[in-house]
Structures are given as C-alpha cells and as structure tokens.
Amino acid sequence: MTPAENEQFTQFLRNASEECRQLGYPPNNFVRMLNADGGFETAKRLLSQPQPSTGFLELFSLGHLELTVEALVLEHRWKTYFDQMLLDRAAEKLKKARYIWRDREVVPVGVFQPIENAELERLIETGSASLSAGISRVLSEYLGATKEAFTGHPMANFIRRHMRDVIIERAGSDSVGLTFKGSAGQGVWARGPWLGIFNPVITTGAQQGYYPCYLFREDMSGVYLSLNQGMTEAKDHYKADAKTALRARAQNFRAILGNQTSRFPELTIDLAPASPGNDTAFYEAGNICAVYYPVGAVPDEAKMVDDLKAMLGLYEVLIQGETDTDVSLDNEDDTPSDLEYEDATKFRMHKRIERNAALVKKVKRLKGCNCEICGANFEQRYGTIGVGYIEAHHLKPLASLKGTKVAMDPENDFAVLCANCHRMIHRSGLVDDIANFKRKHFNG
C-alpha cells in the first residue's frame, strides 16, 4: 500500500468511525490509533487478534458488524492489500458472529443475522477469556486508553482483574499456592503494564524477590514473558547501582538454572523505555530469561499456555536451586544433625518461609507477641526496643514440604516464639510439635 493509498484507506476508516458515532458508539480509541499509526497499521493490528476487539463487540451488540474493521476490509477493495492469514482471522470472527459478508461491488450491503442475548454473552466471553486474545487486546488498545482518565477505566480493570483471572485459569493446577496480580498503574497509567505471578515463599508482590511476569513494551509493540526481579527492593538497597546489582543477580540466577532456560532465550529484553529512569528500564536490568511475543504475531492459545506452564516450572526450579545454594540459611547452628540431605533441603526451605517478612507481619497481627513455649514478651522485658518483636515459626512437618508450594496460612500454620525457643525447637527436630517439645525439653 502506497502512502497515498494508505491516506485514502485511513479516510475511509474515519468515515466509518463517524457512522459508528452516529449510531451511539463513539470509537475514540480506534480514532486515536488511526491518528497515530494510519489506517493500514491500525487494521493489521486489529485483524491479527484471534478474538474480537472491544469495538467489534460494541458493534455486534448494535447489529452493525458491517462497520467493523473485519467487514470493512473483506467487503471492499482494501482486502487485496492484506495477507491471507489476516483475512482468514477476520472471516472467522465474522462467521462466529453469524455475519455474512458480501463483495460490495456485487451486493451493496452485508447481512447480519440477529442472535439471542445468551449467544451475545457467549461471544463476549469467548472474545476475552483467552490468554492469547487478552494479550493482543492490551497491545492494541492500551496506548489509546492512556489518553483517557485512569480511574475506573475498563482497560485498567481488564488488566487488573480479567487478565489475572485468565492466567490463573490457564495455569490450572500449577496455580496452587501462588499469588497472581495485574497492574496498569496506581492512580495514573503505567508506561508499561504488567501481570505477575508470585510464590509467597519468595515474595507476595512485584517490589521484591523474583517472579514470572508479562511485561509490555512502552510502545506496545510486543510483550515479554519474563522471569524477572523486584526493582523497588534493589533501588532502595543499591541506590544508583540498582541496575548493576539486578544484572549481576540475574546472571547468578541463570548460573543456578543452567541450560534449563533454553526455552526462554531472551537474556536481554527491550521494553522501549522513554527514559532510563522509567520502571521499564529497571525491569530490563532485572530480566533473568524471557520469550518475546510481538504485536500481530502473538502465538495461539496452546503455545501461550505451554510457555506459561514451562515458566512456572522454571520458577519452581529456581526457588529450589537457590534455596539449596543459599549459605545464609545454614549459618546458624540449629540444623538437626541427623537430617539426611533431602530433609536438610526441606529444612532450609522451612527456614526461608519463616523469614518471609509479609507472612511474619500477618502472624504477629493474628497471634500477638508472647512466646507460645515460654511466654516471654520482649516489650515487658526490654521496654520500647522490644515492642512488636517475636519470631514466626512454621509448623508444617518437614516431610510435608514438597517442592516450593506449601501451605502458609498465618493463623493455622505458624506459631510465635521467642528467639531462644525458636532456635531450640529447630535443634530438637520437633518443628511441628510444640506440645511435645515443651514436654520433652522445656523446663520453665
């Protein structure tokens, strides 16, 4: 398509947009896309989506699918400028909506067969319940959405809630024990939205630790499924050297994983940050490994789900491997001497759980700060410096710690212990039986 032809096509789409407006549907996001990228690129982006866009669904509900990009391309001479894959996707979406398109040089109007509300709901549901389609929708509509007010915006809610739920569903049984979050920003639009998956053993949010996440480029030209790191923690600790620290730690994680990262070959990612101070620039430094999905070529659902499950598997391998090699977890003389290697690994995981700051905070709030073995209270004994001090002890038996997905209910899976009793219960091997420990070892 020549520049002159593209200008004609763009105007053609603008005219259709005006018709939509007159019908009661203002296609503001679509018009912004036309103004920014022109008709040809806008149409390619929308046609490449395997599932209906928001505009498609709006026009579907109005009974005017002839004004969708899909119909506007297929029913006019413009279809000769698009490759067959895009035309097939357009045709498939129209078929599902029971719209029969016509070559308007022969038959001037398309035929829309109205369908029941239940089928409308089904189409809307299938149009957004796919991981592949959801990612494509964010890539095509996010930049336009950022020109509008953030609070309560459907795109922000789509990322925060709907996409989070889709990822949970696609993860299936692999989602057990994990926390899922999506963010388009806090109060204002994020330059690069993200969807993260967190194992509470390591972190409960994007600020610290490491976790798999979908990271969108600022220009929305693609998205990475990345094993990445919390940059807030690094910035607080390392200040100006945060990016250096994140890169060094990423290299160390890759060494632990070895050749298991081969499915995720992107060791360097480009999130197109407009400024080196943007959060996206720090996520570039924090990348451990990733796979890239460019706009217009987001894989089908099966491939997306396979990659997601493989990444979750890699995440678990890293947690286990990092726990096995973390010397800081073995620098206290409290490991029972009769533990075999497998149990020693579980013991280190047990201690890592107990050091999770978010969990410890919840346990203290629920159980208070009196030791459940000796009754000691640090505030009573030491005054103000002892206020709020107590240690959380994970009560699950070592034998039950299979991998990194373990129960961590602050109320039922933890006890609060003073530092002395905590050290001693670890040495005793009775980590899961406070009553038995008190009977055998406590002479208070």
Q: Which domain holds residue 387?
A: 331-441
d(C-alpha 432, C-alpha 425), whole Å: 9
Give per-residue pLDDT as tens, 237-293: 887 899 999 999 999 999 999 999 999 999 999 999 999 999 999 999 999 999 999
Q: Are both 171 and 254 inside the same structural domain?
A: yes
Q: What pTM did the predictor assign?
A: 0.63
**Stretch 359-385: mean pLDDT:** 91
Q: Is the pLDDT of residue 90 over 70?
A: yes
Which pLDDT score is estimated for 22? 86
CB atoms within 10 A of CB 440: 10
Q: Are both 352 and 234 inside the same structural domain?
A: no
Residue 68 phi, psi (nearest 5): -75, 155
Residues 6 or more apart whose CB falls under 8 angstroms from that of 203 comprise 209, 210, 211, 230, 358
Q: Are both 276 and 145 inside the same structural domain?
A: yes
CB atoms within 10 A of CB 37: 15
Q: Are both 37 and 102 inside the same structural domain?
A: yes
Q: Are both 36 and 147 inside the same structural domain?
A: no
Q: Is the pLDDT of residue 443 over 50?
A: yes
CB-based contact 14:31 (threshold 8 Å): yes
Rounded to 5°, angle at Cα 23 from 104 and 48: 60
d(C-alpha 184, C-alpha 182), whole Å: 7
Q: Are both 197 and 79 inside the same structural domain?
A: no
103 or 54, greater pLDDT: 54
> Can you give the length of the chain in residues?
444
Output the six-digit token pair for 431.
Answer: 């980590």
What separation in angstroms does the CA of 282 have from each of 28, 139, 292?
32, 21, 18
d(C-alpha 186, C-alpha 151), whole Å: 9
Which pLDDT score is estimated for 328? 55
Average pLDDT, the chain: 85
Q: Are both 23 and 95 inside the same structural domain?
A: yes
Residue 112 phi, psi (nearest 5): -110, 125
Residue 78 DSSP one-character state: G
CATH for 236: 3.30.920
Output the six-digit token pair for 55.
Answer: 């505009």
Which pLDDT score is estimated for 57? 83
% of the chain at pLDDT higher than 70: 86
d(C-alpha 280, C-alpha 282), whole Å: 5
Going through 268-323 in order, the beta strands assigned E by DSSP cover: 289-294
* Low-confidence winner among 27-36, 151-160, 377-386 (lowest mean pLDDT): 27-36
pLDDT confidence of 109, banded at 50, 70, 90?
Answer: very low
Q: Are both 340 and 261 inside the same structural domain?
A: no
Q: Is the pLDDT of residue 341 over 60?
A: no
Name which of 284, 178, 278 is nearest 228 in CA terms.
284
Residue 377 DSSP one-character state: B
Give per-residue pLDDT as tens, 217-248: 999 999 999 999 999 988 888 878 999 999 99
**Stretch 316-325: mean pLDDT:** 83
Q: Are both 135 and 121 inside the same structural domain?
A: no
Report helix angle 54-62 to 3-23, nearest 10. 50
d(C-alpha 401, C-alpha 420), whole Å: 24
The residue from 105, 126, 147 where one domain ends is 126
Q: Residue 84 region, left (φ>0) first, then alpha (ψ -120 to 50), else beta?
A: alpha
The residue from 99, 126, 153 where one domain ends is 126
Structurally, how many domains does the chain consist of?
3
Q: Is the pLDDT of residue 357 over 90?
A: no
12 or 98, greater pLDDT: 12
Give per-residue pLDDT as tens, 25-38: 888 888 888 888 89
Q: What share of the chain is helix, strand, coil (3-state, %, to 5)?
A: 55, 10, 35
Give per-residue pLDDT as tens, 184-197: 999 999 999 999 99
